[in-house]
Amino acid sequence: MGLIQNILAVIVVLGLLITFHEYGHYWVARRCGVKVLRFSVGFGKPLWSRVDRHGTEFAVAAIPLGGYVKMLDEREAPVPPELRDQAFNRKSVWQRIAIVAAGPLANFLLAIVAYWALFVVGTTTVAPVVGDIASGSPAEQSGLRSGQEIVAVQGDAVRSWNDINLKLVAAIGASGELTMRARDDAVSDAREYRLPVEAYLVRQDPPRPLQTLGITPWQPSFPAVLGQVLDGEAAARAGLQPGDEILTVNGSPVDDWMGFVSAVRASPGETLALEVARGDERLDLTLVPGEQTLETGVSIGYVGAGVEPVEWPEEYRREIRYGPVAAVGQSLARTGEMTVLTLDAIRKMLIGLISPSNLSGPITIAQVAGDTARTGLESFVSFMAYLSISLAVLNLLPIPVLDGGHLLYYFAEAIRGRPVSERTQAIGLRIGLAMIVTLMVMALYFDLMRLW
């Protein structure tokens, strides 16, 4: 069931993002007088199609992971003399630039609208209150204390752990100090804390912003009650079910969920005797955790089960909501922040600060899409907005075969006063294809390694 949900979620997300992207090309092309021959959602044989009054065929094809807009173009096929003024290649260079740029801009617009909707509807998050501070860590050295609420990172206000993680990820590669402002309670003044770092998060896979600083977020005590059990994993094979409460492991009482997690992590491949409460029943079950190897080489136990959520105390909950007008500014700011973060991540990957193993391909995208869909509409829309920004940024990179590569040629044409030679474009096409194929193979490889 989880695999099917992942596949459906990624089809919905990518289908929507790519359709919106291609519609941007289509909409501007029509306004520039270009005849659009086909607007296809998906690749391959059309499952459904119709032709509108302008002669454009709209189609839904069999392979749902993509789409395209085919325009009248003398470089691709002969064009009748009476239609040449509607050919893409006959339009001015600035019209061609507008048509090509419209796809990525449509993705930025989609992200802005998605964030605007989230800000207007409102989101509920938990206050970024510090739980444990690791001994000897940068957080302890700065004087940061358990129970304090972090209100700013690097001079920027934050209201959630998600905000904090975004600010910290943006600081990858930093050496010297990271600054945080924190307060003891809602009425006290915030103080500044300086956390010493050296090559912060460089080449960590995946980056662990808070753990590296020695900060563990505060959370309420979770009883050892299962909220979910994954099909085919150790917990399911042992007969555990959602709603079961773990009472003892090998005869030792389990106080909370982390107590159960610690016992599992310490016992890869070993047989654990569980006493379980299921309603009014008491059951004795045998659990054999699977084995996972961390990047440090340490093996830990894994059973494929999650905890049942509990209600957070009201004083730790924060609602983030804006009016329709104020939400416009907030959505623009969030889109800009995520765009800069994406560009900075690409830059840092190129200079070696971020490991290439952080590249994600279709498998990881499907997993995250499925996970966010199961978490709720808020998480799903937020993920879709970020993926839309990523798609826009990647398409604007100056790599031939991408929109950014075409824009590079057209801007060169605008400056030089004549088109880039076909020979140069053909060479660029081969280089661009090689780069894209290499990136796709790398992303798929790292996907499979994470899955394995």
Q: Is 308 a catalytic residue?
A: no
CA atoms within 13 A on the CB side of 49: 19
- How far apart, in Å, do the first and last CA atoms of the chain sit? 19
Burial (CB count within 10 angstroms: exposed 0-12, middle 13-18, buried 19+), residue 106: buried
* Rounded Cα gap, residues 419 and 402, in angstroms: 18
Under 8 Å CB-to-CB from 63, ≥6 apart: which residues?
Answer: 42, 43, 44
Which SS3 state, helix, strand or coil, does residue 36 take?
Answer: strand
* Rounded Cα gap, residues 337 and 191, in angstroms: 25
Q: Convert 200-217 to b/e letters by CB count within 10 Å (16 or more is b).
A: bbbbbeebebbebbbbee
Q: How many CB atoms sit inside 10 A of residue 147's CB? A: 12
Burial (CB count within 10 angstroms: exposed 0-12, middle 13-18, buried 19+), residue 149: buried
Q: How many CB atoms sit inside 10 A of residue 317's CB? A: 12
Enumerate the active-site residues. Answer: 22
